[in-house]
Structures are given as structure tokens and as C-alpha cells.
Structure 1
């Protein structure tokens, strides 16, 4: 919703550039302040640069520039101009910011804290880049190029590429460092999802009750929730019933559940998480 308002105020292209720039800066901060000084190889090309820095003392920013430029050229040839244009800004900004911030004082020398906050920082950064319809290059581009010639899902390919980088760290670092890397990688992936979807989680409720009309009236009038009736058929008696489907904000769930059970203590309810809901009363569609 915030992004949509900014799009209307500044224009979509300007907002995308701002998001990719801020996101790339956050990635560089996480890398220089947490991961590199603590030698935490949290997957991706960034992790590979830490391995090469440890082995040959190569500059991470130079390695990133070289690798990302090669990948961008391959991306243009294999995936086309559209994906190339979406990837070019983030792929070049990340190594630039890493180079500019190479003198940044390490935020901590405690590996577990570095893994947690490094993963948090990079997750926020990559998430912002994705919200800006950009890419930081690296293993994402490699996975997309492999996917073009296979039927393997992109998420599996990215995980495989990141896994290879972390696995290679076993030849340089001890197992404890690799475990820290796995913690960081997990946090990064979860935060990326949260930034893209947003923290405003919702829940889907499916309710079957002989008092469904009273429950629906309560949901619509008193709790201001939309309601949909779905026809269902019982499995044992094959009797026709109506099931209520409604989507509510997670913060209202406990109150709504208790109210429904007060109307019908034997109401049958199925609850599932809905991470992203569009429409009236929830998130508005982005342009």
C-alpha cells in the first residue's frame, strides 16, 4: 500500500530505482558489517567472495563486479533484454556499495549475532530490491538461466546454487562456521518473504455450522468481515450444507474465534494462513 502511494506521488520508475538503491545499500551493510568480518558464507555469490577472500585475499567487490558482469552478459544472451534490464542496476550497485563501505567497522565479532543480524540486513535489502522489480544478480540469474533449459522450479535451483556455495565453505572453514551460515541463510530467506508480502498477515476461516446464518450476520455486521457461502456435501449422510468462507486480519482472529464458538460451541472450523490478500479492506493492488 505504501509502495502504491509512492508510485502515485513520484512515479513507478523512480520508486523502483529508490527501492533497488536502498536495498543494495542494505545488502552491502549486512555483508561488510556482519558476514565478511565473521567469515560467514551465507550462500550466493556474496558467500563465494568470502571464500575467495579467505583463500586468496581477493577483493569481494572486484570479484562481484567480474562475476555479475559476466552473468549479465550471459543473461542478455540467454534470457533476453527484459530480465537483463531488471537485473543490471542491483547487480552493479551491490558491489559498488560493498567497495564504498569496505572500511565499515564490524558491528560485532560474535558469530551468532553476525549470522542473525547479517541475515536480517541482507534479507531486508534483497526484499526491497525484489519489491522494486529488480535483482541483485548472482545465483538468481544462474538459476533463471538453468531453468530455461530444465523443468526444475526456480526456488529449488536457487537453493541448490546457494547450497553448493555453503558446501564448498566446508573445505575452507570448520563446521561451526557453516552452521552459522545456514542460520543466516534461513533468516535471509524468511525476511525476503516478509518484506515482499508484508507483515500484515491474514487468516482464512472455513466454518460449517447449523447456525451459519447467525454467524455470517455477526461477521458482516458486527465484525465488518466479508462472507462467502460455499455449497458442500457431507461425506457420511450426503446431506447438503453451506460452508462460510471469510478472510480476517490475524489480530482479530482470537476475538472472532471466541465469538463463533459462543454462538455454536460445536462449529467445525478450518483455519489457514493467508500471507497476501488483495481487495477491499486489505492490501490494494499495486500497479
Structure 2
């Protein structure tokens, strides 16, 4: 891997960590919203004891990281350690620069929504570039090693919900836990969206009496490849060629129009593809982590 690419990846992880620290410092912690994870634990502990979030983040994640290396091997690597340190560093910088009581809004719903968005974008960026920030994803993987009947995802969900429940107990308000769940939901959805890629594609399955004409027009007019799949109609027993073609979102309307110009009775199925690798789309070397 080129040195420039590596530097850009680490810069991206630092940016993601900064966004997470921004969300925690200005939206989530001032309103005691704990969106799961070690950062959620840090929010609760700072609210109870006054111990800074950056210190709690390091104290919990360092032994988790070491345990992960011993139990699960060296798969987590330098980027996880770097992301964990960057998150703690930015939390400390925000605290030193703006003080520990600054909040951009006292409306708890707005704090949950915008805090969840900033956290989700930041965490998604870190994940996409090959890092993690430790936390419940690492803890869940360690617990799964000893309790294989429960998946890592289920372990993470259990841990996150426990943290959210504790946040509600600290404030003695059920609403706090409910708002934390909103932030957690937004965080998870945005993280998945960024990791899976923003450039969705569409796959067309086309059944027509004129597959040769349609495929030739797709190749010549859209410069897209077409694959012919042998299919059998179970009602009629007749054999047909079903066409498979993958296009980007901008070409969806063009392909529909092209097909119906050739055969107005054509049958089409369209499905969303979250990631396409190869010629005409994203190079394999540039795929998500």
C-alpha cells in the first residue's frame, strides 16, 4: 500500500474520532445521553464521579485491547489503538478548549438526534478505514469466544442496552434511557450506511422474448455488461434467457426506458446492491474495509 494512502487513512480515522468527540462533548454528555459502547459508559461515569470521558475511555479500552490481542489474536492492530487514542485526545482537547459544561442545545431530543448523527458519521468513517474504537464491539467478540451460543452482535446489543438502562437510572428518568436508544439507533444506521458505501447500485433481472436485442442495446448504449441466465417457466414449461445487468442509480431510468422500447411486455425485477466491485464500478483495491 502506498505511503500516501496509509497517511490518508490515518487522517480519516483522526477525523472520524474528532467527530465522535464533538458529538460526545457538545450533545450527548451534557444531556446524559449514553448511546451504548465504552463512550456511553464514559458519559455515565463523568456524570456520577466527574472523571473525564477521555480518561475513562482509555482506562477501559486499554485492557480490552490487550485482552482482545491475547484471546482473539492480533487482528485489531495499530488502527484500533490509534483510533482509541485519537478519540481520547480529541475529548481532552475539546474539554480544555471549551470547558466541561458547554452544550449546543439543552433540548434532549435535538441532542439525541444530532449527537447520534455526528457519532454515526465519525464511527462509520473509522470503521470504513479499517479501525475500531474498541468498546462493545471488542467486548462482544471476547464474550462470544467464551459463549459461542450468543453471537457477537447479540453480545454487543446486550451490553449497549445495559449501558442505556444505567444512563436512565443515573438521571432517574425513563426518558433519558429512551432518548439514548434514539441516539443509539441513529448511530448504528448511519455507521452501516457509511461502511456499506454511499454509492448504491441496482441489479435488473429481465425476462423478455427479445433478450438478444435488449442485451445488444444495453451494451452499445449504456456500455454495461449483460449476463444471460438460463431460466424455465414452471407454469408453461418453456425455457427462456433471463438477463442480469447491474447499473448505477443514474442509469436506472435509462435502462427501464430502453427495455420497454424493445419489449413493452418485458418482465423486470429491480433490487438494490450495496456494493459492486469490478470493471465499470469500484476497483477491488478500493473496497470498504
What is the TM-score of this pair, normalised by structure 1? 0.89
Q: Superposed, which structure 2 residues align to 1:198-237 within 5 Å?
A: 198-237=197-236
Corresponding residue number in structure 2 for 1:99: 92
**Contact 1:72 1:84 (C-alpha < 8 Å) held by counterparts:** no
Provide TM-score, normalisation by structure 2. 0.89
In the alignment, is the contact (CA less than 8 A) between 1:75 and 1:84 conserved in 2? no
What does 1:79-158 correspond to in 2, within 5 Å? Answer: 79-102=72-95, 103-104=97-98, 105-149=102-146, 150-158=148-156
Q: Summarize deviations over 1:53-96 as a string: whole Å, max 9, x none.
A: 22233322221111111212212221223324342111222122
User: Any conservation in 1 of the 2:23–2:119 contact (CA below 8 Å)?
Assistant: yes
Distance 1:217 1:68, change over 3 A: same
CA RMSD of aligned residues (A): 2.0
Unaligned runs of 5+ in 2: none
Superposed CA deviations along residues 233-252 of structure 1, whole A, max 9, x for unmatched, are 11122211111001111222
**Match of 1:32?**
25
Matched residue count: 280
Q: SS of the counterpart of 1:82?
A: coil
Contact persistence 1:15–1:132 (CA under 8 A): no
User: 2:112 touches 2:183 (CA, 8 Å); kept in 1?
Assistant: yes
Gaps in structure 1 of 5+ consecutive residues: 1-6
Which aligned pairs between 1:1-287 and structure 2 lie closer than 5 A?
A: 8=2, 10-102=3-95, 103-104=97-98, 105-149=102-146, 150-173=148-171, 174-286=173-285
> 1:251 & 1:114 partners in 2: Cα distance?
35
